[in-house]
Amino acid sequence: MSTLLIIVNIFILLLFILGLYALQKKHVSFSKRVFLGLGIGIVFGLVLQFIYGAKSDVLKTSIDWYNIVGNGYVKLLQMIVMPLVFISIVSAFTKLKLSNNIGKISSLILSILVGTTAIAAAIGIASTLAFGLDGAKLQQGDAEKTRIEQVEQKLGDVQNTSLPQKVVSLLPANPFQDFTGERPTSTIAVVIFAAFIGAAFLGIKRKNPEHAELFSKIVDTLHAIVMRVVTLILRLTPYGVLAIMTKVTATSDYNAIWQLGKFVVASYVALIVMFIVHLLLLTFAGLNPVTYVKKAFPVLTFAFTSRTSAGALPLNVKTQTQDLGVPEGIANFAGSFGLSIGQNGCAGTYPAMLAVMVAPLAGVDPLTPSFILMLVAVVALSSFGVAGVGGGATFAALLVLSSMNLPIAIVGLLISVEPLIDMGRTALNVSGSMTAGLLTSRATKDLDTTIYNEVKETSITA
């Protein structure tokens, strides 16, 4: 009987996928299909949990099959991340888009990413204090105990790495290893390696123009192929979002979410306020924030459902360049740096909130100005090297809490609501990188405002 139920569940998902495909054939807009997939996934997941229960074997097996679509889509996106980062940055050099002001562009992007992370930390502190969150009131179950043990083990690795060692870890000792994404800082390492290749190209161009021209043609060809692969993968977004959201709503522990509801609400208040800060920064730069929201929404929706900044990179870069008017080089630098540096949600808001919650347990008054200033500074500096996949926030929290000599067990106590909060954090991370790209290109006067202000459907077409 259970096998039959599993088959029925799989068949229903396939029907939804076929329905979305039929809409694609009828040229229904990409954004509408993404949002429809999101809505169907939410409702379908809730229905599945209501019928079977979150921990039933039927649901578990059904979700395993759904993961072929959801996780498979995310893996395809992750597959193209490193080639996209590398070839796009090298291409920016060959097309002379960044050669004259690469130092200024990099500095601006890093400053905006780290600066907004500091603001996010301050907002997280304010939200925690406003809601009166107290880490001492969190309850510890079996799952939480297991997570705390894992966190304490991971803390040992964090504490044994000095600041100079963390800086050195950003460099690509073995670029081929970094192309596999083996390390949390692999993306930054690939960016640095690509920059060296680009700088070498500029030198060869002065001394041997013929070799440089041949290399430039090869890079242009590879770039065109990689971007075509990106387009093919992004067309699968409505189906991926459908499967991912079905899994999230079908397997979430709503009782635990209810118990920790105050923390969830406080977290989302902080995340929303920080998103409003992004919009204000764009407004001060003379850009219409409503236009940004409309064009960035598909990217943020995917980041929200998938919980991976790295997986969202192809859609992030393509939206920046084709819908928002950001030059290709700047978009790739902003998107790539944003995967491991200055993540507003994971490395900014979240660690700051946890630090304030546990400060009283360590005999520290979280209202002390010196504590608040120190916390904001530590959060900003610790935001380097945070992985752009699920789990990066845990690493960031460990860095901050250990640096401030605060208890780390709270990281494990929030395991039940971690996925729900991580969805909002990831969307904010991606928004932060896109904001950095827009503000930087605006400051360097490279932003194509005609494209930014153009009213059109998102560039990911079917």
pLDDT in tens, the chain (462 residues): 588 888 999 999 999 999 999 998 888 888 788 889 988 998 999 999 888 887 888 889 999 999 999 889 888 888 888 888 888 888 878 875 555 677 788 889 989 998 999 999 999 999 989 988 876 666 555 444 554 455 555 555 555 556 566 667 777 888 888 887 777 677 778 888 888 898 888 888 888 888 888 998 998 899 889 888 888 888 888 999 899 889 888 887 777 677 678 888 999 999 999 999 999 999 999 999 999 999 998 889 888 888 888 778 888 888 999 899 998 888 888 888 887 777 888 888 888 888 888 888 778 888 888 888 888 888 887 776 565 444 567 777 777 877 777 777 666 667 667 778 888 998 999 999 999 999 999 998 889 888 998 876 555 554
Residue 346 per-residue DSSP state:
I
Backbone angles phi, psi at 384, to 5 degrees: -80, 135
Let me know if residue 403 belongs to a domain.
Answer: yes
Let me know if residue 209 belongs to a domain.
Answer: yes
Let me know if residue 150 belongs to a domain.
Answer: yes
Q: What pLDDT digit, counting tens, does each position of 375-390 carry?
A: 888 888 777 656 544 4
Token pair of 381, please?
Answer: 């500096």
Let me know if residue 462 belongs to a domain.
Answer: no
| Domain ranges, residue 362 | 2-453
Residue 384, SS3 per DSSP: strand
Let me know if residue 116 belongs to a domain.
Answer: yes
CA–CA separation, 273 vs 290, rounded Å?
A: 16
H helices present in 252-349, as ranges: 254-259, 261-284, 289-306, 313-322, 328-340
Residue 396: name the closest of 425, 417, 367 by CA.
425
Residue 97 per-residue DSSP state:
S
Let me know if residue 458 belongs to a domain.
Answer: no
* pTM of the predicted model as reported, rounded to 2 decimal places: 0.81
Let me know if residue 242 belongs to a domain.
Answer: yes
Q: Supply the angle between the helices 2-25 and 30-52 in degrees, to the nearest 10.
A: 170
Let me know if residue 39 belongs to a domain.
Answer: yes
Judge whether 414 and 370 are in contact, CB under 8 Å.
no
Number of structural domains (the chain) is 1
CATH of the domain at 150: 1.10.3860.10
